[in-house]
């Protein structure tokens, strides 16, 4: 049909169904990117964070895998053998030195695994102790953060969800705990818990294997550190509830479950994961601090803090024993912090102030 220039008639062709060709034209050329994939892309671009991630993975894997193949355990005094007098040649070995019986074996042509970092004053392989201590420190940091997350999430979401008087009361309590000087109270709690007979309470339960001191560390963390997490989660829930996309979703007929799982959770989860990740180094720091004061893990179990604190006495003769745990703590804390920052930059552009 021919169209006159000034005619008000609409062109009928415009209302024909689209052909396959036209449809193909409208299809997006690139695959749609998800939030997660965007974040990963941003994260990989961040060299510092990537290097920290690699460092952490190496540290974690080595302190899990290497002890399986290491012929020495963290509490085995190499100079002490059944039915023989204590062999002092195993005490205070320098790196890659051997005790007398080991030297004899080597002379006889046998292979003996070297003491990479030497041994300590009681003839325990220091490399094994460092690996085990790193494992303890990392585990304490990780589980303490999980505990903080669980308590914080429960309280925070109760407070944010119910609002009103419940919220008011909880938030006043949080305010007070927040303004308490946490480190002092942690020392106080830890020193009090060290005197209680927690050992007897947990005897026979699964908790016994973890040890009373680590449990009291967890209690200490759980009591004081959840407040900032619960504040964060409450704030998230309150602000997300008022977002326009939630309203839009409601207008489109979405029900509560859909909104919670499709809108609230995905937007909340990245913030929560990031602040949990940032909690780990602070927990590791607190643990090593307490162990340094003698309030952390029980001997003979090592942690990086207690290893450093033990080494302080022999600083003049065996400085290496102080340097190694100190370097490992610094490395872990620094790279976890940088990793957390990198995660925040990559996955939560809003937080980046």
Partner 1 sequence: MNTKTLGYILKRVLLALLTILVVITITFFVMHAVPGGPFLGEKAISDAAKAALEAKYGLDKPLFQQYLTYLKDIITEFDFGPSIKQRGREVIDIIVDGMRTSAKLGLAAAAIALAFGTVLGSVAALRRNKFIDRVIMVITTAFVSMPSFIMGMFMLLLFTVKFTIFPANGAEAGGLVLPIIALSLSPMANITRLTRSSMLDVLGQDYIRTAKAKGVSGVKTIFGHALKNALIPVITYFGPMLAYIVTGSLVVEQIFAVPGIGRSFVSSIINRDYTLIMGTTIVLAILIVIMNLVSDILYKVIDPRITLE
Residue placing its CB nearer to partner 1 in the complex, 61 or 334: 334
Considering only CA atoms, which of 313, 311, 325, 299 is closest in space to residue 75? 299
265 belongs to the binding site for partner 1 (CB under 8 A): no
Question: Would you call 213 exposed, middle or buried from its count of C-beta atoms within 10 A (0-12, 13-18, 19+)?
Answer: buried
Q: How far is the CB of 290 from partner 1 (least distance, A)?
A: 10
Among 149, 329, 343, 346, which residue interacts with partner 1 (rule: CB under 8 A)? 329
168 belongs to the binding site for partner 1 (CB under 8 A): no
Among 44, 45, 161, 175, which residue interacts with partner 1 (rule: CB under 8 A)? 175
Local structure of 124: helix, strand or coil: strand
DSSP 297: S
Among 308, 324, 339, 346, which residue interacts with partner 1 (rule: CB under 8 A)? 308
Residue placing its CB nearer to partner 1 in the complex, 102 or 341: 341
Q: How far is CA 134 from CA 128, 207, 225, 326, 333, in A?
A: 10, 21, 22, 11, 12
Local structure of 74: helix, strand or coil: coil
Among 179, 209, 252, 253, which residue interacts with partner 1 (rule: CB under 8 A)? 179
343 belongs to the binding site for partner 1 (CB under 8 A): no
Among 119, 288, 303, 306, which residue interacts with partner 1 (rule: CB under 8 A)? 288
Backbone angles phi, psi at 314, to 5 degrees: -100, 30
Q: How far is the CB of 121 from partner 1 (least distance, A)?
A: 18
315 belongs to the binding site for partner 1 (CB under 8 A): yes
Q: How far is the CB of 60 from partner 1 (least distance, A)?
A: 18
Output the CA angle 176-180-185, nearest 5 degrees: 130
Residue corresponding to tokens 């209690």 = 219
* Interaction residues for partner 1, span 121-160 (CB under 8 A): none
Q: Which stretch binds partner 1 (CB under 8 A): 71-79, 154-162, 243-251, 331-339?
A: 331-339
- The residues that bridge with 119 in the sheet, in sequence order, are 125
C-alpha–C-alpha distance, residues 45 and 39, integer Å: 10
Is the Cβ–Cβ distance between 188 and 264 less than 8 Å?
Answer: no
55 belongs to the binding site for partner 1 (CB under 8 A): no
Q: How far is the CB of 157 from partner 1 (least distance, A)?
A: 23
Residue corresponding to tokens 């399986």 = 68
DSSP 317: T
Considering only CA atoms, which of 92, 72, 73 is closest in space to residue 313? 92
198 belongs to the binding site for partner 1 (CB under 8 A): no
352 belongs to the binding site for partner 1 (CB under 8 A): no
Q: Which stretch binds partner 1 (CB under 8 A): 7-15, 225-233, 268-276, 333-341?
A: 333-341
Give the footprint of partner 1 on this chain (CB under 8 A): 175-176, 179-181, 183-185, 187-189, 191-192, 195-197, 281, 285, 288-289, 292-295, 308, 312, 315-316, 319, 322-323, 326, 329-330, 333-334, 337-338
């Amino acid at each position: 049909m021919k169209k006159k220039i000034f005619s008000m008639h609409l062109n009928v062709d415009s209302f024909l169904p689209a052909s396959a060709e036209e449809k193909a034209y409208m299809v997006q050329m690139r695959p749609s990117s998800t939030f997660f994939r965007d974040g990963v892309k941003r994260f990989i671009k961040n060299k510092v964070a990537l290097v920290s991630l690699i460092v952490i993975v190496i540290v974690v894997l080595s302190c899990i895998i290497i002890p399986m193949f290491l012929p020495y355990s963290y509490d085995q005094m190499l100079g002490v053998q059944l039915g023989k007098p204590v062999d002092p040649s195993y005490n205070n070995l320098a790196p890659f030195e051997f005790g007398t019986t080991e030297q004899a074996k080597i002379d006889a042509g046998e292979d003996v695994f070297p003491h990479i970092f030497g041994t300590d004053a009681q003839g325990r392989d220091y490399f094994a102790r460092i690996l085990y201590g790193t494992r303890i420190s990392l585990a304490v940091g990780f589980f303490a953060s999980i505990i903080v997350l669980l308590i914080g999430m429960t309280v925070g979401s109760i407070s944010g969800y119910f609002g009103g008087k419940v919220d008011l009361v909880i938030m006043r309590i949080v305010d007070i705990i927040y303004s308490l000087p946490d480190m002092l109270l942690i020392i106080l709690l830890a020193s009090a818990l060290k005197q209680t007979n927690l050992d007897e309470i947990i005897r026979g339960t699964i908790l016994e294997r973890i040890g009373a001191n680590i449990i009291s560390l967890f209690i200490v963390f759980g009591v004081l550190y959840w407040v900032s997490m619960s504040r964060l989660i409450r704030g998230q829930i309150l602000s997300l509830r008022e977002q326009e996309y939630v309203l839009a979703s409601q207008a489109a007929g979405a029900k509560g479950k859909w909104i919670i799982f499709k809108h609230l959770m995905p937007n909340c989860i990245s913030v929560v994961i990031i602040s949990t990740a940032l909690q780990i180094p602070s927990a590791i720091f607190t643990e090593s601090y307490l162990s340094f004061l003698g309030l952390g893990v029980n001997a003979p179990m090592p942690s990086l803090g207690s290893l450093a604190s033990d080494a302080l006495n022999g600083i003049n003769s065996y400085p290496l024993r102080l340097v190694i745990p100190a370097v490992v703590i610094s490395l872990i804390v620094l790279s976890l912090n940088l990793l957390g920052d990198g995660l925040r930059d990559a996955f939560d552009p809003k937080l980046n102030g």
